[in-house]
Amino acid sequence: MAKEKRPKQPMPPLKVWLPAVVTGWLIPGGGHFLLKHRVRAGLLFFAIVGMFLFGLMMRGAMFQGQSGDLLTIIINWGGFFSDMAAGLPYFIATWLGYSQSDVAGHVHDYGTKFLVGAGLLNVLAMVDAYEIAAGRKN
Amino acid sequence: MPKVNLSHFEAALLFAFFTAVVFGVVTKRGDREQIRYGLYVFGCFMLALFGLGWLMYFGHG
Gap between the Cα atoms of B46 and B31, Å rounded: 23
Residue A105 has phi, psi (to 5 degrees) of: 130, 140
Q: Tell me if B15 and A121 make a contact (CB, 8 A cut-off).
A: no
To test the contact with chain B by mutation, choose from A53, A82, A94, A106 the residue with the greatest count of B C-beta atoms within 10 A, namely: A106
A54 vs B4, B12, B29: nearest CB = B4
Gap between the Cα atoms of A39 and A45, Å rounded: 10
- Predicted TM-score of the model (pTM): 0.90
Average pLDDT over residues B31-42: 94
Instruction: Assess contact for A85 and A119: CB atoms under 8 A.
Output: yes
Output the pLDDT for position A82: 94
Chain B residues with CB under 8 Å of A54 CB are 4, 14, 18
Cβ burial, residue A132 (10 Å; 0-12/13-18/19+): buried
pLDDT digits (tens, 9 = 90+) for A80-92: 999 999 999 999 9
Q: Tell me if A58 and B22 make a contact (CB, 8 A cut-off).
A: no
Output the pLDDT for position A138: 67
Plot region of A105 (φ>0 → left; ψ -120 to 50 → alpha; else → beta)? left
Instruction: Assess contact for A29 and A43: CB atoms under 8 A.
Output: yes
Amino acid at B21: V
pLDDT digits (tens, 9 = 90+) for A17-50: 999 999 999 999 999 999 999 999 999 999 999 9
- In angstroms, the separation between the Cα of residue B3 and the nearest Cα of chain A is 5
Residue partners of A81: CB distance under 8 A and separation at least 6: A119
Output the pLDDT for position A41: 95
Instruction: Assess contact for A117 and A47: CB atoms under 8 A.
Output: no
Domain parsing of chain B, residue ranges: 15-59
Output the pLDDT for position A11: 80
Chain B residues with CB under 8 Å of A98 CB are 1
Output the pLDDT for position B25: 93
Q: Which of A11, A96, A3, A130 is nearest to B1 (CA)?
A: A96
Greater confidence (B7 vs A137) lies with B7
Q: Tell me if B18 and A121 make a contact (CB, 8 A cut-off).
A: yes
DSSP string across chain B: -------HHHHHHHHHHHHHHHHHHHH--SHHHHHHHHHHHHHHHHHHHHHHHHHHHHHT-
pLDDT, chain A, mean: 90
